[in-house]
């Protein structure tokens, strides 16, 4: 079993790396934040000084980085993977980036006979820690099948969805649906408060009916408890919706709901809620309505 490279040891990348080590893989890791690197080294990983140095030692490299420019820099920039990777190397980019960027990066890598999968994940920090992420993978199907065991060490649902870029299209669709769902929940709970009905009662009454959803179960209790510690930070959802809207513009897809919710999120960011869980969308409605959504929900 050869060494696997891992570039990006943030909120998602660090627990994913730990799960790969637990699964028995040898890792070579790189991140600008040295305490994260040293934490992985203490668990048995090797440290590298640059993405290019990772590529010298590994023929499969996972990236988990904030956005398209960071992935482009790590893979194609100075001291990047492309400078030192051997032909036949495979990049598995688990970052959430614009699909068009994934296709452009993959085309540049292909010129050097380097393969790439775009494999964004869903499940947040908790899913990364528990190795229960959902992973949507775009790229050559044979390359996917070769890398599937690695991905199954960090995720419980690993699905090939099509050619390169398709993984990020699926992730953006997921993020648009999640944002619209959360906004709908916040809107409904605010309606209940303004109409004089306990929002906790509303939640309990509708959770078994046609309005039931995973987001209702996950986010309504946070709104009712006014508990906005991050599971998935609002700032990260803003980043994803930025890619949703960019992609919609590129392909000519109308996205009026996503655009509206983006403006709501930007308003909350300006009010210093950006590092809170995305369920904090309820605060946008509370501000407009002059009311507070509260309850005592134990699920």
Tell me the DSSP string of 234-265.
Answer: HHHHHHHHHHHHHHHHHHT---HHHHHHHHHH
Query: How far apart are the C-alpha atoms of 93 and 65, rounded to whole Å?
Result: 8
58 and 5 in contact (C-beta within 8 Å)? yes
Q: HSE, CB side, 13 Å, CA atoms: give it for residue 86.
A: 7
List 14, 18, 60, 171, catalytic entry: 171
Query: How far apart are the C-alpha atoms of 10 and 14, rounded to whole Å?
Result: 6
Q: Is 171 in the active site?
A: yes
Query: How far apart are the C-alpha atoms of 12 and 131, rounded to whole Å?
Result: 11
Q: CB 291: neighbour CB atoms within 10 A?
A: 15
Among candidate residues 67, 65, 41, the one with its CA nearest the CA of residue 51 = 65
The residues that are catalytic are 171
């Amino acid at each position: 079993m050869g060494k696997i490279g891992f570039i990006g040891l943030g909120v998602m990348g660090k627990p994913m790396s730990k799960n790969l080590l637990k699964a028995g893989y040898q890792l070579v890791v790189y991140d600008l934040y040295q305490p994260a690197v040293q934490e992985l080294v203490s668990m048995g990983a090797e440290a590298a000084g640059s993405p290019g140095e990772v590529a010298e030692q590994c023929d499969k490299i996972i990236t988990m980085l904030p956005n398209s420019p960071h992935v482009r820099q790590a893979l194609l920039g100075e001291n990047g993977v492309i400078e030192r990777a051997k032909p036949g190397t495979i990049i598995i980019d688990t970052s959430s980036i614009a699909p068009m960027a994934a296709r452009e990066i993959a085309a540049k890598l292909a010129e050097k006979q380097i393969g790439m999968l775009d494999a964004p994940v869903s499940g947040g920090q908790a899913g990364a820690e528990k190795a229960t992420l959902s992973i949507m993978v775009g790229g050559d199907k044979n390359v996917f099948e070769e890398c599937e065991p690695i991905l199954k060490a960090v995720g419980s649902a690993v699905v090939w969805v099509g050619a390169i870029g398709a993984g990020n299209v699926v992730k953006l669709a997921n993020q648009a649906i999640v944002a619209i769902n959360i906004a709908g929940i916040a809107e409904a709970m605010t309606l209940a408060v303004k109409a004089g009905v306990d929002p906790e009662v509303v939640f309990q009454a509708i959770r078994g009916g046609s309005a039931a959803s995973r987001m209702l179960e996950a986010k309504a209790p946070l709104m009712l408890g006014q508990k906005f510690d991050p599971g998935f930070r609002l700032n990260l959802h803003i980043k994803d919706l930025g890619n949703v809207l960019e992609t919609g513009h590129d392909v000519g897809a109308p996205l009026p709901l996503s655009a509206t919710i983006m403006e709501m999120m930007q308003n909350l960011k300006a009010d210093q809620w950006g590092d809170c869980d995305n369920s904090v969308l309820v605060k946008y409605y509370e501000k407009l309505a002059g009311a507070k959504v509260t309850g005592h929900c134990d699920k």
